[in-house]
Amino acid sequence: MPLVAGVALAWLLQQWVAPAIGPFYAKVLLDIGIAIVAASSLNIVNGFGGQFSIGHAGFMMVGGYAAAWLTFYGSIQLWGSPGLHGGFLGGGDLLFLGGCLLAGVIAAVAGLLVGLPSLRLRGDYLAIVTLGFGEIMRVLVQRTGDVMAPAEAQAAGMSGSIGALGGSLGFGGVPTYTRIFYVYVFVAIVVLCAYRLKISSRGRALLAVRENEVAAEAVGINTARVKVQAFVMSAFFAGIGGALFAHELGTTLNPQELGFQKSIDIVIMVVLGGMGSITGVVLAASILTIMPELFREFADYRMPIYALALIIVMIVRPQGLFGIKELWDTQIWRRLVGNKAGKPTTPRAIARAKAGDKPGDKPSDKEPS
């Protein structure tokens, strides 16, 4: 049911909201959705798992280029030329959606290769490894400029000096298949999967690893496996986010656009929203995507104002906007829905509710019957 509601919302945004707000704000709406997908995927590792990945844009780059390669060269093979083919849910759109899934799978494989050696160790090794991975991917893509594109691509208008992935000049001719409907359907899928993971037994094991890895091992949790599985899932959704990003830009996908700065932007969204808070990350991704556009009139002062606003928020709320809580755990939400007690959402709160304790009470000292 939540997924159906998400699809309905995506359709509403595509058919009614986007035409009403105009092309500029429709582009901002696209950017918000892609940012939510990217930040929510990183939240699985950094938030739920308590790890620290700072090369997430590397997995977006893997997914983006994989999907762009499929849609560009697939269009040439199927229709004789790159570009848009068919209307909404037409042949080109289906090729694009297949490219998104392919992007997720390839990024997940990359996540497995990166996560297996690094997540078996404790400490900040993952941050170092993911940082290196992101830079390696950027350099590899930039060094493909000496690989000649196929003759079909050259005949379709591609310059002979552009490589199979475009090199540092960028991958040219990527069709703009990304639509608001597709983006927000994927937003609904990613957010729902993150929520289901958080309340599942596997998610509780991941949260236990975040709180105390030694204690988690002591109760029989295979911490290495749990962390690798979360990392692969995170990379899968990051790859889909990269595919959406690649086909939103249009014409040229440049490796610099998915470099280290992009990774830092995604990390800031997770930290600002609250490490482990799904709704907090969604809100932070939306705010941080909108803010640069709001300050566009003050071009000379836009970035200082943006940075100052972030600093003030982190001083006032160092745990992020929501901390580890969700929107429905806040007093404001309870007042809106008329539920003063609130429904327990965390494993500890659920256990206490089953034991008969009310929210706000101390844990029961009664002996179990």
The CATH class of the 2-260 domain is mainly alpha
When the pLDDT of each residue in the chain is averaged and rounded to a whole number, the result is 81
What pLDDT digit, counting tens, does each position of 83-108 carry?
666 666 667 788 899 999 999 999 99
Confidence of residue 279 (pLDDT cuts 50, 70, 90): very high
- Per-residue pLDDT, 301: 73
d(C-alpha 184, C-alpha 318), whole Å:
29
Q: What is the mean pLDDT of residues 221-225?
A: 90
Query: Diameter of the chain by CA atoms?
Result: 79
Place of tokens 């993952």: 126
Give tens-digit pLDDT for 148-197: 444 445 555 544 444 467 777 777 778 888 889 999 999 999 999 999 99
276, 210 contact by CB (below 8 A): yes
Q: Quick: pLDDT tens for 288-310.
A: 999 888 777 776 776 787 778 77
- How crowded is residue 68: how many other Cβ atoms within 10 Å of its Cβ? 29
The mean pLDDT of 329-351, rounded to a whole number, is: 57
Rounded Cα gap, residues 25 and 13, in angstroms: 12
Q: How far apart are CA 35 and CA 128, in angstroms?
A: 23
Q: Which residues contact 275 (CB under 8 A, 6 or more apart)?
A: 43, 46, 47, 50, 319, 320, 324
Q: What is the pLDDT of residue 31?
A: 94
Write down how long the chain is: 369
Q: What b/e sequence results for 306-330 when a residue is b if at least 16 CB atoms lie within 10 Å of its CB, and e otherwise? A: beeebeeeeeeeeebbbbbbbbebe
What φ, ψ does residue 173 adopt, rounded to 5°?
Answer: 80, 15
Between CA 187 and CA 216, with CA 233 as vertex, the angle to 5 degrees is: 125
Every domain of the chain with CATH number 1.10.3470 lies at: 2-260
Per-residue model confidence (pLDDT) at position 311:
84
The pair of structure tokens assigned to 267 is 């990390």
Question: What pLDDT sits at residue 150?
Answer: 45
DSSP string, 29-43: HHHHHHHHHHHHHHH
| Distance separating alpha carbons of residues 226 and 230, to the nearest angstrom | 6
pLDDT of residue 305: 74
Residues 26-77: tens digit of each pLDDT: 999 999 999 999 999 999 999 999 888 999 999 999 999 999 888 888 887 8
What confidence tens digit (pLDDT) does each residue in 118-141 have?
A: 887 766 788 889 999 999 998 888
Local confidence band at 113 (pLDDT 50, 70, 90 cut-offs): very high
Q: Looking at residues 317-345, what average pLDDT do you find?
A: 66
Q: What pLDDT, on the 0 to 100 scale, is given for residue 10?
A: 92
Alpha helix locations (H) across 50-167? 56-79, 91-118, 125-142, 151-155
- pLDDT at position 283, please? 93
Spatial CB neighbours of 67, under 8 Å, sequence gap ≥ 6: 96, 99, 100, 102, 103, 242, 243, 246, 247
**Is residue 326 classed as helix, strand or coil in its secondary structure?**
coil
Give the integer Cα–Cα distance in Å for 356 and 359. Answer: 10
pLDDT for position 239:
96
- From 199, 222, 353, select the one nearest 276 (Cα to Cα): 199
Using DSSP's 3-state secondary structure scheme, residue 292 falls into helix
Q: Which of 246, 259, 236 is nearest to 183 (CA)?
A: 246
Amino acid at 192: L
Integer Cα distance of 45 and 30 in angstroms? 24
* Residue 161: per-residue pLDDT: 40
pLDDT at residue number 185: 95
